Amino acid sequence: MSQAIHFGPQVELADKVKADLRKVRHPHYGRYLEEFAPGQVFVHPRGFTFLPAQMEAFARTYMQCNPLYLNQEFARASGFAGLVASPQMVFNVVLSLGVQNDSEKAIANLGYYDAQFLRPVYAQDTIRSLTKVVERKERGAGKPGIVTIRTLGVNQRDEVVLQYQRKIMVAGQGERPATTPLPRSAGGGAPAFPWVDDAAVELPEFPARLPPGLTGPNSYFEDFSVGEIIVHANGRTITDEHLALTYAVGNTHPLHFDRVFSSGLSGKMSGDPIVYGGLVFAWLEGLASRDVSDNAVWELGFTEGYHTQPSVAGDTVAALSRVLAVEDAPGALGAHCGVVTFQFVGVKNTSAGSALTRHGADLFVKENDKKDLGKEKIDDKIFEIERRLLIRKRR
Amino acid sequence: MSQAIHFGPQVELADKVKADLRKVRHPHYGRYLEEFAPGQVFVHPRGFTFLPAQMEAFARTYMQCNPLYLNQEFARASGFAGLVASPQMVFNVVLSLGVQNDSEKAIANLGYYDAQFLRPVYAQDTIRSLTKVVERKERGAGKPGIVTIRTLGVNQRDEVVLQYQRKIMVAGQGERPATTPLPRSAGGGAPAFPWVDDAAVELPEFPARLPPGLTGPNSYFEDFSVGEIIVHANGRTITDEHLALTYAVGNTHPLHFDRVFSSGLSGKMSGDPIVYGGLVFAWLEGLASRDVSDNAVWELGFTEGYHTQPSVAGDTVAALSRVLAVEDAPGALGAHCGVVTFQFVGVKNTSAGSALTRHGADLFVKENDKKDLGKEKIDDKIFEIERRLLIRKRR
Amino acid sequence: MSQAIHFGPQVELADKVKADLRKVRHPHYGRYLEEFAPGQVFVHPRGFTFLPAQMEAFARTYMQCNPLYLNQEFARASGFAGLVASPQMVFNVVLSLGVQNDSEKAIANLGYYDAQFLRPVYAQDTIRSLTKVVERKERGAGKPGIVTIRTLGVNQRDEVVLQYQRKIMVAGQGERPATTPLPRSAGGGAPAFPWVDDAAVELPEFPARLPPGLTGPNSYFEDFSVGEIIVHANGRTITDEHLALTYAVGNTHPLHFDRVFSSGLSGKMSGDPIVYGGLVFAWLEGLASRDVSDNAVWELGFTEGYHTQPSVAGDTVAALSRVLAVEDAPGALGAHCGVVTFQFVGVKNTSAGSALTRHGADLFVKENDKKDLGKEKIDDKIFEIERRLLIRKRR
């Protein structure tokens, strides 16, 4: 059903309405420290319909090499319903959808924890994002506090596709006007927030045979042994493209795309727009993907993720992986797949090989632990995380 | 039906054919002043099939926040047939398709008038563009003249989706060779040009209920009152990406992507490629969209649009809106929706808030009126327009 | 069928596993000279599902103006099954899929030969790439050798869509560790490699009538005469975008996106990342497309293609075409279409017109022949090739 409506011609009005400087509104987004209340649930705006060309574009932008994200025939032959959205894309989108409520006023992203990808996202799925405030830690007057939040990505069938926890550093409101209030919840109470500890992962049945030759020969489960360090050969120079890519995943924090804002800050974040951390993680993961994940059938998730230095346009990033654990997958799946946990480290403006030569084993000591261990922080280290992959056995 | 044809091997020929410098062709596009004849109709080349991933990509590139352009489930729940192409994208594409005939030789785009979006563009729609020359104003020998044109965007069912008027400044041909002639029209006469004054807008029936939480709480019809000024918080730094984005919408004017051409010019446009104005408009609109248009059900159109300063890569743009009129929508629609007219202003290399502090009410005086009012032009103001939106009531 | 599996919570492990610097792996890709054995067949990884929005995005990124790649209605009206992937995109993708085996260790791409586009690639087609080593020419100890390879692009029905030959310059392994070995072939023997000399081209039946006005009036078969030189008006400034575009087509050579790598090289390639040649070819082809190929019904292929100078971000490229041959298409097709062979030349940091004025006929002498002819190489010439198009007659 449609309607045909005449609105009449648009006539020029500006010079007929006096500009009144007493009626000025400054809508602001994000939340100041006082605006976070434990238990509160934010329903994030917009949502995001995943479309196949976008899914491929994301995988290619960060050079994710697993053909599940690039080759529809391979994805189907692997048991999936169609081309699979890279979990890294799902993470970037779900986090970004939440920035408007969670972190558009945040000073820093302190860490990612307990991220779990619970089911595939396919073309035509529409993902919404929800956040629950877990904890607000104040650290004294005038000091920014620390807020712990949990975020869910939910598809159009209300199934959770991703859950993770995040800590952010947020300043108090001070003299500043309050931010845009939350919409009232439909029923009045807090919206449902179906977080599940140790949630089940919904995966397809994996067939025994796959099209040959489309994945690397050296990245099967059997190729990884505990303690091994893998130096990923290529780096990637990040350009100004990152401003547009921040927009592309829907992240609304001006630190990443507004030079007037970023150069008005003081301290380490002042100057050129800082690359949104999710993009840095994505590039690093892509650089590693030929060596560790092109035979993965699933990204189980990650924890203990820290951006230890910011990156800006012009920086070249590179990555190293270290095998922390290898074990058979649970139950019958164990005959065909194993779980590999990697420590994953990013560096900048050096090759991964040179970074290893220069810093040795210290590259794999967490930056937050360095002080207690009497060690120096490593300036060219930008990221560290532990990630867990479900990887095909060679058989 | 297909045919299998042998063309024979390709053999090297270059050294067997002498280069003859007397047989040189220089195809040129656009029209010089003398080449515009009032009444003439240009059928623009190529056309443009709208695809869903492109439509989302456009909305994200400029951070249009209305979920109609981003979330297929929301678009359907809102009464539309599917994901909706952002009207801003439709405008950019229709104008760009016409550049090859209308303005590839233009010196400046003087203004946009009476733009009306007459029906939604959906995925798989193929849009063509047509232009009719309305007026050619000569201003004396050696001086560029002013050409007024009307342009239509038409879909594959020959329905007009957009119409607008534009004035451009064009130089005479002088000593230069003529541009590429128009193709002969199929029937011999001028092609049909179905412009309609005060045309009806074809809209879906809007359902009473929508998915909650996906749009902002403060941008319903009732939230806007005449005279109010809204300062949009974030800016956007434009990078070299604009060259590629000019290509992406199909704009063929070399001023926007050919540094050899742009640095060979004299005057204000000399130097780095100038950002195509349609892109500037799109970014500004996106920056405003959380505050004014994420509860819009339709962009009715705009008029009195002027790019008052050029932008180049490196500039940071920001925006302000001023409410010029609020009224109920006509007929039964008025129970659920209202029409809001905004004056919309863009600035560069300043935050929107600082620009308001510095320039006050003068920011909302049209630059073209400044001289008559004895006021100075504002250098950091880059754009002004009046736009009219159909916005949901909160009820 | 799906399965719900509990993997248990992910626990922090990094500080429990000692970093062991004796267990370091450096996976490397590409092949050193000794690793190429004539007769050997590489099945390249990943594959690439062509999606319509990507196909349009490619055509727009390089401003390919033939509506076959941009307008689905036009493509169908022209006899094709739907929107057609630009052959230039197919070439870029097929070559890039092979870089991981063929040329990620190559020093230079020496030339393209005998490229033939054998059938259209449509949306949803998944293309794989295969390479056969034809010849390995050693040039003495310590000197890089020359490898000749043939590459096929094959769709999901095992039909060849593209075949071409390439010569690359590759250094020996020296002291360096071997690269990642090839996966074993499924059956044990070399995979099938269905190269066919003078292969048939599968084309649709072309209808007599087409939608009017969507292609240019001056680029029909009859418009081209042997010897004629066509100067393409506009140039294109290449920006840092090329790093992302290299990723977008799946090219894994770090020379194009890793400044730590590229600035560590010596000689002409040292410094900023070099633009991947396939992208340069694509931009040049797009700049020419309004003048020579928007009435083409098929790109038959190309040969004798040489990148004679590298390009970097900031360079502005421009193009010229010279008609080498015009002939009717074979058989019944000849009534409606002809074959035009062009010599196609790219220049940089000059307009095409200025380059012709400066260098005259020498612009069309192959750079490799210059020495024998006692002529100087032309520094601002970046590319030369001979291309063959099947072009509609005006009738």
DSSP string, C314-359: T-EEEEEEEEEEEEEPSGGGGGTEEEEEEEEEEEESS-HHHHHHHH
Q: What is the pLDDT of residue B187?
A: 59
Q: Which residue shows structure tokens 């840092």?
A: C240
Q: What's the rounded Cα separation, in Å, for the pair C322 and C345?
A: 8
**Contact present, A253 and B234 (Cβ < 8 Å):** no
Q: For A98, which residue in chain B has the nearest alpha carbon?
A: B214
CB pairs under 8 A between A and C: 242
Higher-confidence residue of A180 and C255: namely C255
Q: Is A14 helix (H, G, I), strand (E, B) or coil?
A: helix
pLDDT digits (tens, 9 = 90+) for A62-104: 999 999 999 999 999 999 999 999 999 999 999 999 999 999 9
User: Is the predicted pLDDT of residue C185 greater than 70, yes or no?
Assistant: no
Q: What is the pLDDT of residue A183?
A: 66
Q: For A26, which residue in chain B has the nearest alpha carbon?
A: B231
- What interface predicted TM-score (ipTM) does this complex get? 0.96
Residue C45 banded pLDDT, cuts 50, 70, 90: very high
Q: What is the mean pLDDT of residues A230-255?
A: 97
pLDDT digits (tens, 9 = 90+) for A339-371: 999 999 999 999 999 999 999 999 999 999 999
Lowest-confidence pick of B54-63, B152-161, B206-215, C21-30: B206-215
Strand partners, C32: none
User: Is the predicted pLDDT of residue B117 greater than 70, yes or no?
Assistant: yes
Structure token digits, residue C269: 């390639």
Subunit contact C45:A52, Cβ cutoff 8 A:
no
Strand partners, B122: B84
Q: What is the pLDDT of residue A209?
A: 85
Q: Tell me, what amino acid is at A341?
A: T
Please tell me which of the candidates C5, C180, C258 has its beta carbon nearest to residue A218: C180
User: Is the predicted pLDDT of residue A178 greater than 90, yes or no?
Assistant: no
* C333 contacts on B by Cβ (under 8 Å): 3, 5
Q: Return the closest-CA partner of residue B384 out of A15, A8, A26.
A: A15
Subunit contact A71:C258, Cβ cutoff 8 A:
no
Q: What's the rounded Cα separation, in Å, for the pair C299 and C224?
A: 16
Q: What is the mean pLDDT of residues B298-311?
A: 98
Q: List the end-to-end C-alpha distance of chain B, in Å, as a whole number.
A: 58
Print burial letters for C217-240: b (CB count within 10 Å at least 16), e (below 16).
Answer: ebbbbebbebebbbbbbbbbbbbb
Q: What is the pLDDT of residue C187?
A: 59
Q: Return the closest-CA partner of residue C309 out of C351, C347, C267.
A: C347
Q: What is the pLDDT of residue A38?
A: 96
CB pairs under 8 A between A and B: 243
SS3 breakdown of chain C: % helix, strand, coil, rounded to 5? Answer: 25, 30, 45
* C162 contacts on B by Cβ (under 8 Å): none
Q: For A385, which residue in chain C has the nearest alpha carbon?
A: C14
How much is the mean pLDDT over chain C? 95
Q: For B20, which residue in chain C has the nearest alpha carbon?
A: C227
User: Is the predicted pLDDT of residue C186 greater than 60, yes or no?
Assistant: no
pLDDT digits (tens, 9 = 90+) for B343-379: 999 999 999 999 999 999 999 999 999 999 999 999 9
Q: Is B289 exposed, middle or buried (0-12, 13-18, 19+ CB in 10 A)?
A: buried
Q: What is the mean pLDDT of residues B321-331?
A: 98
Residue C245 banded pLDDT, cuts 50, 70, 90: very high
The beta strand positions in chain B, using DSSP E, are 2-5, 24-25, 41-43, 48-49, 106-117, 126-137, 145-154, 160-170, 201-204, 229-231, 236-237, 296-307, 316-328, 337-348, 381-392
Subunit contact A213:C45, Cβ cutoff 8 A:
yes
Subunit contact C213:B43, Cβ cutoff 8 A:
yes
Q: What is the pLDDT of residue B64?
A: 97
Q: In angstroms, what CA-CA distances link A29 with A123, A383, B235, C193? A: 30, 27, 14, 58
**B104 φ, ψ to 5°?**
-65, -15
Subunit contact C324:B258, Cβ cutoff 8 A:
no
What are chain A's partners, defined as 3 or more CB pairs within 8 angstroms?
B, C
Residue A185 banded pLDDT, cuts 50, 70, 90: low
pLDDT digits (tens, 9 = 90+) for B137-169: 999 988 999 999 999 999 999 999 999 999 999
DSSP string, B116-177: EE-S--BTT-EEEEEEEEEEEE--STTS-EEEEEEEEEE-TTS-EEEEEEEEEEE---TTSP
* B67 contacts on A by Cβ (under 8 Å): 45-47
Under 8 Å CB-to-CB from A357, ≥6 apart: which residues? none
Q: Which residue shows structure tokens 């502090």?
A: B357
Q: What is the pLDDT of residue B287?
A: 98
Among B1, B31, B49, most C C-beta atoms within 10 A, so best to mutate, is B49
* C232 contacts on B by Cβ (under 8 Å): 27
Residue C177 banded pLDDT, cuts 50, 70, 90: confident
User: Is the predicted pLDDT of residue C211 greater than 90, yes or no?
Assistant: no
Q: Return the closest-CA partner of residue A382 out of A300, A301, A279.
A: A279
Q: What is the pLDDT of residue C208?
A: 85
Q: Return the closest-CA partner of residue B377 out of B362, B356, B395, B357.
A: B362
User: Is the predicted pLDDT of residue C111 greater than 70, yes or no?
Assistant: yes
CA distance C67 to chain B (A): 5
User: Is the predicted pLDDT of residue B43 greater than 80, yes or no?
Assistant: yes
User: Is the predicted pLDDT of residue A16 greater than 80, yes or no?
Assistant: yes
User: Is the predicted pLDDT of residue C360 greater than 60, yes or no?
Assistant: yes
Q: For A272, which residue in chain B has the nearest alpha carbon?
A: B237
Higher-confidence residue of B134 and C2: namely B134
DSSP string, B6-21: --------GGGS---T
Q: What is the pLDDT of residue B269?
A: 81
**Residue B188 per-residue DSSP state:** S
Task: Give percent of chain C with pLDDT exceeding 70.
Answer: 98
Q: What is the pLDDT of residue A170?
A: 96
Q: What's the rounded Cα separation, in Å, for the pair A128 and A134?
A: 20
Print burial letters for B61-93: b (CB count within 10 Å at least 16), e (below 16).
Answer: bbbbbbbbbbbbbbbbebbbeebbbbbbbbbbb
Q: What is the CA radius of gyration of chain B?
A: 23
What are chain C's partners, defined as 3 or more CB pairs within 8 angstroms?
A, B
Residue A395 banded pLDDT, cuts 50, 70, 90: confident
CA distance A178 to chain C (A): 38
| H/E element, C262 | helix C259-263
pLDDT digits (tens, 9 = 90+) for C259-315: 999 999 988 888 999 999 999 999 999 999 999 999 999 999 999 999 999 999 999
Residue A118 banded pLDDT, cuts 50, 70, 90: very high
